[in-house]
Amino acid sequence: MQDVFVFETQCLHSLVKVFPDEELRDESYTRGSALRGETFDFQVAYRAPALTKPIRVSVISTLQAAITLREVGLAPSELPCQRRHDDNVLRVTPGLYPDPLYPIDEEQGVVGIHYQWRSVWVTVEVDEETLAGKYDITVKFAALTGELLGEESFHLEVIPAMLPPQSLIHTEWFHADCLVNYYGVQVFSDAHWGLIEQYMQTAVRHGMNMVLTPHFTPPLDTQVGGERPTVQLVDVQRELDGTYKFGFGRLLRWIELCNRVGIHYLEFSHLFTQWGAKHAPKVEAVEQGELRRIFGWETDAAGEAYKSFLNQYLPALMVFLREQGLENRCYFHISDEPLLEHMPWYRSASELMQAHLGNFPIIDALTNVEYYEQGLVKGPIPANDHIEPFLERQVPKLWTYYCCVQYRQVSNRFFNMPSARNRVIGVQLYKFQIVGFLHWGYNFWNTQYSLQAIDPYRVTDAGRTFPSGDAFLVYPGAKGPIESIRMEVFYEGLQDLRALQLLEGLVGREQVLALIEDGLTEPLSFSQYPSDAQWLLGLRERVNRAISGASELTKRGDRHES
């Protein structure tokens, strides 16, 4: 059979993952709608019959200034999923997966490779001033000679309603030491602070409004007896009589940076080690003119030395936070993911912290509801596959999270999972009125237990330990963070949540819940939900139509009353 040399293009929605080695299965997606204040994404897939470079990509639209084009890159995965995965996955083999979103250089363009499907990611930032109406967006592919190779047009309707501000508290754990490792900068040098600001700005643009704040080096994902680079914001001086002095200058700089970029909540890092609360985090102090580590894995967390330290530190920190007017913006951790057998150590730590923190909330990721029932943590964060007992007890202001072990039935965002499985979390958060979402991996560029730093463009599974897509959302670029498909799609889920909240304010919660579950064979839950992208896209379009209709009725009523 003779090859037909033709350049192919197809418009696709954002929930399609385009693999270079398989045919497109989804139908063309050429129209959609968005609210004011919303980020709207779609893709244009392309396939060249031969090696073609550069291919110039351009966009024509009256919304052109609000549109960004990026190339969907491929990332390697040796461990795409857990062994006992469910069926809601795209593939289970090691290989290349679409994930990083690279800026497209105007001169270099993109490359067409011998019948491989690739895609361009199109992002439209609809601001609050955008006029309601229908807009055409045309993406063109041209050869170096100027010859038009192909084009696709998308039709976006802007709904005359404003997406409300995000009320969900959202944190993806920010690992300041990983920036140091990858970029080779000094801890809290001007270069480090610049990187921290860039990565925080990107996080804020994608719905992160809380940041893990390392008052002391976080005792997370660290081998017992091992250390991660010191990223301690609080200065400590230990006197000969055993008393301590504390300096909050760097912490104040961190807070001012958060204020500047739009981070509202401060999530102070854990004051006890992960998986048990038995030891202290690494704490460095100046003693007799020398900086040294005074606490760490060798420290008994329930011992008098560390208790004495916390009994002095926590009151000083409370004074500082109140002076800065941060009473309603700060959250604290004890220990991450304690099990039932760790309860005696956790109880000791909880009693000490609660004695000092007053109304400052304590939150921790955990599985066992007994920690909440016994009053050891008032802000439990159960995983989305262990949340039912907490929902049954009607825990107020409930959060949820997921990580590498939440891979059966529930939402998650591994490379090999369909993007609809990532985005559906927004509808689930709405239905169950979840107030916070936590994830441990914004930029964890280490192997498990932080034994080694890794190159995240080559190692995406924490050294063949966590399925690719679990440990980080952003890649390190030369000029700052490189975002991912998973990051954009998760943010789409957060925007779905906000749209549902807007509709609730217009028509009431009962009508919104009925709209969500219309046509479902069983009620939507964290483990039961339609797995196909069309349901999710269709639901969002119905929500937008309902918002538009309800908003128009409200305007008519206002005009009538006037």
- Distance between CA atoms of 275 and 108, rounded to whole angstroms? 48
Residue 141, strand partner residues: 57, 150
- Distance between CA atoms of 440 and 454, rounded to whole angstroms? 17
pLDDT exceeds 50 at position 170: yes
Binning the chain into helix, strand and coil, the percentages to the nearest 5 are: 30, 25, 45
For 190-228, the pLDDT digits (tens) are 999 999 999 999 999 999 999 999 999 999 999 999 999
pLDDT exceeds 50 at position 558: no
Q: Is the pTM of this model over 0.85?
A: yes
pLDDT value of residue 3? 53
pLDDT-derived band at 4 (thresholds 50, 70, 90) equals low
pLDDT-derived band at 557 (thresholds 50, 70, 90) equals very low
pLDDT-derived band at 107 (thresholds 50, 70, 90) equals confident
For 238-286, the pLDDT digits (tens) are 999 999 999 999 999 999 999 999 999 999 999 999 999 999 999 999 9
List of long-range contacts for 316-323, beta carbons under 8 Å, 24+ apart: 316/246, 317/215, 317/234, 317/246, 317/248, 318/356, 318/357, 318/358, 318/360, 320/248, 320/251, 321/360
- Distance between CA atoms of 481 and 444, rounded to whole angstroms? 13
pLDDT-derived band at 106 (thresholds 50, 70, 90) equals confident
Q: List domains and CATH numbers for the chain.
A: 8-162 (2.60.40.10), 169-230+249-280+301-487 (3.20.20), 504-561 (no CATH)
Q: Average pLDDT for residues 36-52, to the nearest whole number?
A: 96
Q: What is the mean pLDDT of the chain?
A: 96
- Distance between CA atoms of 158 and 155, rounded to whole angstroms? 10
Q: State CA 11 to chain mean position distance.
A: 26
What angle (nearest 5°) sits at the alpha carbon of residue 311, between those of residues 247 and 210? 60
Helical (H) or strand (E) element with 320: helix 304-323
One-letter amino acid of 562: S
- Distance between CA atoms of 136 and 64, rounded to whole angstroms? 10
pLDDT exceeds 80 at position 368: yes
Provide DSSP, 240-284: TTS-EEEE-HHHHHHHHHHHHHT--EEEEPPSS-TTT--BPPPEE
Give the other-Cβ count within 10 Å of 319's Cβ: 12
User: Contact at 8 Å (CB) between 203 and 443?
Assistant: no
User: Contact at 8 Å (CB) between 12 and 120?
Assistant: no
Q: Average pLDDT for residues 330-334, to the nearest whole number?
A: 98
The residue to which tokens 């916070």 are assigned: 436
